[in-house]
Structure 1
Amino acid sequence: MKNRIKERISKLRAEMEKSGIDGWYLSGTDPHQSEYLPDYWQIRNFISGFNGSMGFMAVTQKHAALWTDSRYFLQAADQLKDTGINLMKLRVEGTPSPAKWLGDLLPNKAIIGTDASCMSTAQYQDMQKDLASEQLQLSDCGDLMEAIWTERPQLPADPVFEHDTKYTGQSRLEKIEAIRAVMSTAYCEACLLTALDEIAWTFNLRGNDISFNPVFVSFALITHKHIHLYLNPEKIASTLNTKLTSEGITIKAYQAVYDDLKNINSLLIDPDRTNQALIDAIAPEAQINFQLSAATCLKAIKSDHEISMFRKAMRKDGVAMVKFLHWLYANVGKTAISEYDVLLKLNEFRAQQENFMGPSFHSIVGYNENGAVVHRSVSPETAAAIHAEGILLMDSGGQYLEGTTDITRTVSLSEPSQLAKEDFTLALKGTIGLADLKFPANTAGCNLDLAARQAMWKTGRNYGHGTGHGIGFFLNVHEGPMSIRQEYNNRVIEPGMVLSDEPAFYREGQYGIRTENVIVCKEWQTNEYGHFLQFETLTLCPIDTRLIAKELLSPDEIDWLNNYHKACFEELAPALNNEEKAFLQELTKAI
């Protein structure tokens, strides 16, 4: 494999020379700025061998580098070894930006090529400025993979299907009217939707074009008179096409959006979600109003109906998790179990639940030292054997018609060490700290991050990833624009937003620890001092009390945990058999 990567880099350099570019920059995404990609756009994986979900590359005739974040440092170091591609650790002091790295290697006025259709206009303009400061130029060289990737996969042709209004609570025309209201406020003729999850949400349609994300490759253009949905027409069955047509929705070829944009006079455009090639297709005289996508804003605030559906999904997921834990404890140390077996069993128990549509991501399973690989992608070939000792981390989730789930549980398979208990409890204090937080309205997610980290910071511990990400409604398990993390983000957390709550701690070579729940922001109170919000935990699954150092928890934290476990038993027990119910009762005993 390493030799094939070197060969592909060599072919890329030949294409760079033909195109007259001195360096090549790969954004690592697709024309829709997706985190997870259809196989057709898995260029980063193909050209580097690194298969993490985040990373970008730069290549010159003599050097190559890949940047990724702390979730993937260990994985990337292993996958890039002996390929000639250097690992650049994002947010680590001393790591140069791609522009700086290229500027140090190339002469002034060197040309850096990239595929403008796979960079948002915000990213493209930022890169232009960064390269200009290094006396370099950015140029759209298009997709260079045609001559290199001879067996490149085709774009998926799987059919699109409806997400019924009994789940969504709103019709697509109601959602489109809400978008049109935003267009009117902005005095714009049209709104361009490019992110796949916002199109799927707006049109109450779902697909299978990306593993784990129920979306389909498409664009949408909404005007005050017309609604155009751009995709492969073969993906729409005749009955669905008839229904969409009756609602005034026109199906057009995927690439036709580029021509149609030439005829629009004023547009709402999201600069972070709209690729530069689309911007280049707009008539020069057209007025563009750059702002966060109306669909993304609407989608982020879950309705009461959507939240009620989430509760149903969480109960189903909790039942599956309890059945899984019952199986694990009954079999570990008695039969051969690997990390991959755990992944399969998690899927198996979820598949027993009604309206399960598949996992929401490739489950992360890490036994002992593998748990410290934050986003470990386990396979049958790489799976370690699990024994009745040590610590097991499992990060998994499901897609249900009622919602998307994401849960991490860390369990001890033997008597844990005092250090492991301390690490686990400090991370758990962070999970509780955020879940139990009361805060003023209009508070940004980055300002809430401290609640999850302060207990660890007091002991000199930390974790390198974010604390919380938005979660879609039978959509992407990672959803913006909201987040809870250290990096600055001015998006405030609002009632109806559904997020993860996942403080963690990792000891390289020993274990990984993470307790992740899904939370929803809701109203708390308004008084003479202001308007306050709080979180409610939606996830229902026991937390391993054997890993808790009780002396590190405050009375309020103990009350939170005991109340949480009481709710888990009350909500999940009715769906379990007697043996599983007794098992759950033992796991949820008050401490």
Structure 2
Amino acid sequence: MKDIIQQRLTALRAEMSKAEVDAWYISGTDPHSSEYLPKRWETREFISGFTGSYGVVAVTKNKAALWTDSRYFLQAAGELEGTGIEMMKLRVPDAVPPAEWLAQNLSAGSKLGIDTQTVSVAEFRNLQRTLVKTGIELVETPDLLEPVWKDRPAIPSDKAFELELQYAGLPGTEKQQTVASKLAKKGAELQIVSMLDELAWLYNLRGSDVSYNPVFTGFAVVGATESILFVDAQKIDSALKLKLEADGVQLKAYTDFYRFLSEINGKKIFVDPGTLNYAAYSLLSEKNEILEGTSVVALLKAQKNATEIEGFRRAMVKDGVALVEFLYWLKETVGEKPVTDYDAGVKLAEFRSKQEGFKGESFPPIVGYKGRGAIVHLHIGPNDGLPLEADGALLFDSGGQYLDGTTDVTRTVALGPVSEQFKTDYTLVLKGMIGLTLAKFPYGTKGCHIDILARQALWENGMNYGHGTGHGVGHFLNVHEGPMAIRQEYNENPILPGNVLSNEPAFYREGEYGIRTENMIVCVECEETGYGRFLGFETLTLCPIDTSLIKSGLLSDREKNWVNEYHAEVKRRLKPVLNTSLHSFLDELTNAI
């Protein structure tokens, strides 16, 4: 594989020479700013061999580098070894971001080529801001990988399908009217919708174009008088076409999108610079007034309606049953039969697949035994499995897609004896998860304001983890969604009622073990006092926490009570639908501490 990567870099450099650019920038995403990608746009993996879900690549005439964050440092270092591509760290102190690296490695007068269909407005501006000072020009190029990538996959042609109202809660027409109303308050006539999950939510449609994400490839232009969906005709069957048209949706070909934008004139158009690609923005900005901010659709989508929240609750019961079945399988199998951490991931998916309305996993399962648990986003294949033994601990982070909702859960469980240090670390992580769960905060609070609640016990012991604490979760949509987040970095979007998030503090000792405990939570109204409106969280996930790893002396009475109350709720919700043969096992897992 290393030789193949080097050959591809050589071929890319030949295309750079033809395009008369000194470097080429690969954003690692598609025209929709997607995290998980249709095969056609897996450009980062194609040119580097790195299989993680986040990272950018820059290639000059004699150097190449890939940037990623702490979730992938260990994985990227291994996958890039021998390729000639340098691994660069992001989101850590003293990081040298791509723009700075390019400024250091290109001379004044150099040209950096960019396929602007795959770079957001914000990313383009960030590069420009740094590089223009050093006399480096940004040049729009075609996709230079097109001639290099033989047999490149086409855009998927799978059918889109309607998500019925019993799951969606609101008809697409009502959502579009709400968007138009919000736009009018901003003084805008139209919004360009480019994110695939926003598109799916807005029209109550789902698809299968992207592994793990039930979305389809398209764009939309929506406003008070227009609702235009740009999507390949073969993706919409005749019945769905008639329904969409009856709802006032105009269907146009996906390939007509950029031409259509070039013909819009004299409008006030709202765009999200963090997600809209620069090619679309540059066409619009020539003849229209552009207003910018967080996508109206993203904000509305993130505040789940009552039907969606109830769907999440149903999905959690299904997921909880599958997880208890998996834990029982672990108990009966490890130490008795040969089994690997890869096998465990496959088995977990198998248990979920038996649940009604299951539509696949929500992301590739992360199953790490012992030292592999410290690889935050571990990705292993069938030939890379590590045998599980009745010793140490297993970390598994996985999720399911159900018509009812999307799940994401992490547990760290003992397969045998662990060290006292492990138990201490485990308990400190648990304290952080409970701390965030029990948060009560005034309306308008942002994720960075409450992130410390998940880290405080670790910080007090000189410990930390490098990733965020909480990300939004879509409703039968992407497992990672914005615009809000709970992490140390500033994010202007507050945590609002109806936001569904992960709560996943962690700790990793490289080469020894990883610990992460993750529940999904939904933001709810708590109370209104003379001092304002206060919000909190309700836990959605229903899965036992391994109490054998807890040092109860490190927990306060309030924290112990939370664990016991949580386990009582898990038992109450799961027992009626769990096979009776597993009732005593569930009792054992949820015994009070």
Q: After superposition, what is the alpha-carbon deviation per residue over 1:446-465, rounded to whole angstroms, capped at 9, x for unaligned?
A: 01100000000000010000
What does residue range 342-357 of structure 1 map to in structure 2 within 5 Å? Answer: 342-357=344-359
Q: Which residue of 2 aligns with 1:273?
A: 275
User: For the Cα contact (< 8 Å) 1:542–1:565, is it kept in 2?
Assistant: yes
Q: Which residue of 2 aligns with 1:88?
A: 88
Deviation at 1:223, TM superposition (A): 3.2
Q: After superposition, what is the alpha-carbon deviation per residue over 1:158-187, rounded to whole angstroms, capped at 9, x for unaligned?
A: 100010000111000010100110122223
Amino acid at match of 1:386: L
How many residues are aligned here? 591
Q: Which residue of 1 aligns with 2:339?
A: 337
- Equivalent residue for 2:411, pick from 409, 412, 416: 409
Amino acid at match of 2:247: E
SS, match of residue 4 in structure 1: helix
Q: Which residue of 2 aligns with 1:27?
A: 27
Amino acid at match of 1:86: E
Amino acid at match of 2:307: H
Distance 1:60 1:108 in 2: 14
Q: Which residue of 1 aligns with 2:449?
A: 447
Amino acid at match of 1:566: A
Q: Which residue of 2 aligns with 1:478?
A: 480
Amino acid at match of 2:544: P
SS, match of residue 385 in structure 1: coil
Deviation at 1:250, TM superposition (A): 1.7
Amino acid at match of 1:103: A
User: For the Cα contact (< 8 Å) 1:412–1:544, is it kept in 2?
Assistant: yes
Q: Which residue of 2 aligns with 1:288?
A: 290
Distance 2:473 2:96 in 1: 32
Distance 2:521 2:128 in 1: 39
User: For the Cα contact (< 8 Å) 1:100–1:134, is it kept in 2?
Assistant: no
Distance 2:304 2:244 in 1: 24
Distance 1:347 1:188 in 2: 45
User: For the Cα contact (< 8 Å) 2:89–2:96, is it kept in 1?
Assistant: no
User: For the Cα contact (< 8 Å) 1:99–1:134, is it kept in 2?
Assistant: no
Distance 1:339 1:551 in 2: 32
Deviation at 1:355, TM superposition (A): 0.4
Distance 2:191 2:65 in 1: 37
SS, match of residue 167 in structure 1: helix
- Equivalent residue for 1:509, pick from 494, 508, 511: 511
Deviation at 1:283, TM superposition (A): 5.9
Deviation at 1:107, TM superposition (A): 1.4
Amino acid at match of 2:168: T
Deviation at 1:389, TM superposition (A): 1.0
Amino acid at match of 1:238: S
Amino acid at match of 1:104: Q
User: For the Cα contact (< 8 Å) 1:263–1:283, is it kept in 2?
Assistant: no
Please say which of residues 259-268 and 177-186 is displaced more in the overlay: 259-268
Deviation at 1:192, TM superposition (A): 1.1
Q: After superposition, what is the alpha-carbon deviation per residue over 1:407-455, rounded to whole angstroms, capped at 9, x for unaligned?
A: 0010001122111100100000000000011111111100110000000
Q: After superposition, what is the alpha-carbon deviation per residue over 1:503-535, rounded to whole angstroms, capped at 9, x for unaligned?
A: 000111111100000001111111122221111
SS, match of residue 451 in structure 2: helix
CA RMSD between the two structures = 1.0
- Equivalent residue for 2:583, pick from 578, 581, 584: 581
Structure 2 residue 534 is matched with structure 1 residue 532: yes
Q: After superposition, what is the alpha-carbon deviation per residue over 1:322-357, rounded to whole angstroms, capped at 9, x for unaligned?
A: 011111101111111111211111111111111011
Distance 2:320 2:367 in 1: 18
Distance 1:46 1:323 in 2: 38
Deviation at 1:17, TM superposition (A): 0.7
SS, match of residue 88 in structure 2: strand
User: For the Cα contact (< 8 Å) 2:447–2:495, is it kept in 1?
Assistant: yes
Q: Which residue of 2 aligns with 1:393?
A: 395
The 1:490/1:283 distance shift into structure 2, 3 A limit, reads closer
- Equivalent residue for 1:563, pick from 550, 562, 565: 565
Distance 1:221 1:166 in 2: 26
SS, match of residue 255 in structure 1: helix
SS, match of residue 129 in structure 1: helix
Q: Which residue of 1 aligns with 2:326?
A: 324
Amino acid at match of 2:584: A
What does residue range 68-147 of structure 1 map to in structure 2 within 5 Å? Answer: 68-147=68-147
Q: Which residue of 2 aligns with 1:423?
A: 425
Q: Which residue of 2 aligns with 1:263?
A: 264
Q: Which residue of 1 aligns with 2:213?
A: 213
Q: After superposition, what is the alpha-carbon deviation per residue over 1:100-124, rounded to whole angstroms, capped at 9, x for unaligned?
A: 2122222101100011000111211
Please say which of residues 177-186 and 191-200 is displaced more in the overlay: 177-186
Distance 2:383 2:367 in 1: 14
Q: Which runs of at least 4 in structure 1 moved beyond 4 Å after TM superposition?
A: none
Q: Which residue of 1 aligns with 2:149?
A: 149
Distance 1:441 1:227 in 2: 33
Q: After superposition, what is the alpha-carbon deviation per residue over 1:20-55, rounded to whole angstroms, capped at 9, x for unaligned?
A: 001111111110000111100000000000010000
Distance 1:119 1:75 in 2: 25
Q: After superposition, what is the alpha-carbon deviation per residue over 1:249-297, rounded to whole angstroms, capped at 9, x for unaligned?
A: 1211102121222224221111111101111222623111112111101
Distance 2:91 2:155 in 1: 34
Distance 1:542 1:224 in 2: 48
Amino acid at match of 2:387: A
Q: Which residue of 2 aligns with 1:44?
A: 44
SS, match of residue 337 in structure 1: coil
What does residue range 351-390 of structure 1 map to in structure 2 within 5 Å? Answer: 351-390=353-392
Q: Which residue of 2 aligns with 1:433?
A: 435
User: For the Cα contact (< 8 Å) 2:264–2:287, is it kept in 1?
Assistant: no
Distance 1:461 1:183 in 2: 45
Deviation at 1:133, TM superposition (A): 2.2
SS, match of residue 25 in structure 1: strand
Q: Which residue of 1 aligns with 2:467?
A: 465
Q: Which residue of 2 aligns with 1:239?
A: 239
Distance 2:357 2:133 in 1: 53
User: For the Cα contact (< 8 Å) 2:65–2:85, is it kept in 1?
Assistant: yes
TM-score (norm 1): 0.99
Deviation at 1:91, TM superposition (A): 2.6
Amino acid at match of 2:224: H
Q: After superposition, what is the alpha-carbon deviation per residue over 1:345-391, rounded to whole angstroms, capped at 9, x for unaligned?
A: 11111111110110000000000011000000121021111111111
Distance 2:568 2:165 in 1: 33
Amino acid at match of 1:321: L
Distance 1:577 1:279 in 2: 55
Please say which of residues 156-165 and 332-341 is displaced more in the overlay: 332-341
Identity in percent: 50
Structure 2 residue 5 is matched with structure 1 residue 12: no
Amino acid at match of 2:203: F
SS, match of residue 408 in structure 1: strand
Distance 1:193 1:356 in 2: 28
Deviation at 1:225, TM superposition (A): 2.3
Amino acid at match of 1:38: P
The 1:139/1:314 distance shift into structure 2, 3 A limit, reads same
Distance 1:210 1:292 in 2: 24
Deviation at 1:93, TM superposition (A): 3.3
Q: Which runs of 5+ in 1 are unaligned?
A: none
Q: Which residue of 2 aligns with 1:172?
A: 172
Distance 1:95 1:529 in 2: 41
Amino acid at match of 2:264: N
Distance 2:377 2:397 in 1: 9
TM-score (norm 2): 0.98
User: For the Cα contact (< 8 Å) 1:421–1:549, is it kept in 2?
Assistant: yes
